[in-house]
Chains A and B, each alone.
Chain A
Amino acid sequence: MKNAVINFKKYRYLLKELINKDIKLKYRRSYLGLLWTLLEPLLTMIVLTFVFSGLFGRGDESYPIYILTGRLLYTFFSTATKASMKSIRSNAGMIKKVYVPKYIYPFASTLSNYVIFLLSLIVLIVVSLVLNVMPTLYIFNAIFPLILILILSLGVGMILSTLAVFFRDLEYLWSVFLMFIMYTSAIFYQVEKLKIAGKEWIFNINPLYNIIVNFRNAIFGRPMDKYALIYSTCFSFGSLIIGMFIFYKNQDKFILHI
Chain B
Amino acid sequence: MSKSMVKVENVGMRFNLMENKVDDLKDYIIKALRRELRYQEFWALRDISFELKKGERIGILGLNGAGKSTLLKVVAGVLKPSEGTIKTTGVIAPLLELGAGFDKQYTGAENIYLYGAVLGYSREFLDSKFQEIVDFSELKDFINVPVKNYSSGMRARLGFSIATIVDPDILILDEVLSVGDAKFRKKSEKKITSMFDKGVTVLFVSHSLEQVKRLCDKAIILDNGRIVASGSIEDVSLVYEEMTE
Contacts and interface: CB of A to CB of B under 8 A. Distances in A.
Interface of A: 10-11, 13-14, 16-18, 21, 24-25, 28, 93-100, 166-170, 173, 252, 255-257
Contact of B25 (A18, A170, A256): A170
17 contacts: A13-B117, A13-B121, A13-B122, A18-B114, A21-B103, A24-B110, A25-B105, A93-B102, A94-B118, A95-B78, A96-B78, A97-B100, A98-B94, A98-B118, A173-B25, A256-B16, A257-B23
Contacts of B121: 13
B65 interface: no
B94 to A, nearest CB: 6
A25 B122 contact: no
Contact of B105 (A10, A28, A99, A166): A28
Contact of B101 (A10, A93, A168, A252): A93
A71 B122 CA distance: 38
Interface of B: 15-16, 23-26, 28, 73, 76-80, 94, 96-97, 100-103, 105-106, 110, 113-114, 117-123
B67 to A, nearest CB: 15
Given A167-B25, A168-B24, A93 B117 contact: no
Nearest to A14: B117
Given A13-B121, A94-B118, 10 more contacts: A21-B103, A93-B100, A94-B100, A94-B101, A98-B118, A99-B78, A99-B94, A166-B23, A169-B26, A255-B78
A170 B102 CA distance: 27
A21 B26 CA distance: 34
Contact of B78 (A11, A13, A25, A97): A97
Contacts of A11: 117, 120
Nearest to A91: B101
Nearest to A11: B120
B24 A167 contact: yes
A204 B212 CA distance: 67
Contact of B24 (A25, A96, A169): A169
Contacts of B28: 167
Given A168-B23, A169-B24, A97 B123 contact: no
A204 B71 CA distance: 52
B119 A17 contact: no
Nearest to A168: B24
A173 B103 CA distance: 28
Contacts of B16: 256
B24 A13 contact: no
Most buried by B among A21, A99, A100: A99
A167 B23 contact: yes
Contacts of A100: 118, 120
B114 A97 contact: no
Contact of B76 (A16, A99, A168): A99
Nearest to B146: A28
Contacts of B80: 252
A152 to B, nearest CB: 23
A10 B120 contact: yes
A255 B76 CA distance: 14
B76 A21 contact: no
Contacts of B119: 98
B23 A97 contact: no
A252 B120 CA distance: 20
A114 to B, nearest CB: 20
A24 B114 CA distance: 13
A98 to B, nearest CB: 5
Contacts of A252: 80
* Nearest 6 pairs of A and B residues by beta carbon: A99-B77, A14-B117, A169-B24, A167-B25, A94-B101, A17-B117
Contacts of B76: 98-99
Nearest to A99: B77
Contacts of B94: 97-99
Contacts of B25: 167, 169-170, 173
A96 B102 CA distance: 12
A256 B15 contact: yes
A21 B110 CA distance: 9
B24 to A, nearest CB: 4
B23 A98 contact: no
Interface centre among B28, B80, B118, B121 (most CB of A within 10 A): B118
A96 B113 CA distance: 19
Contacts of B123: 13
A134 B113 CA distance: 44
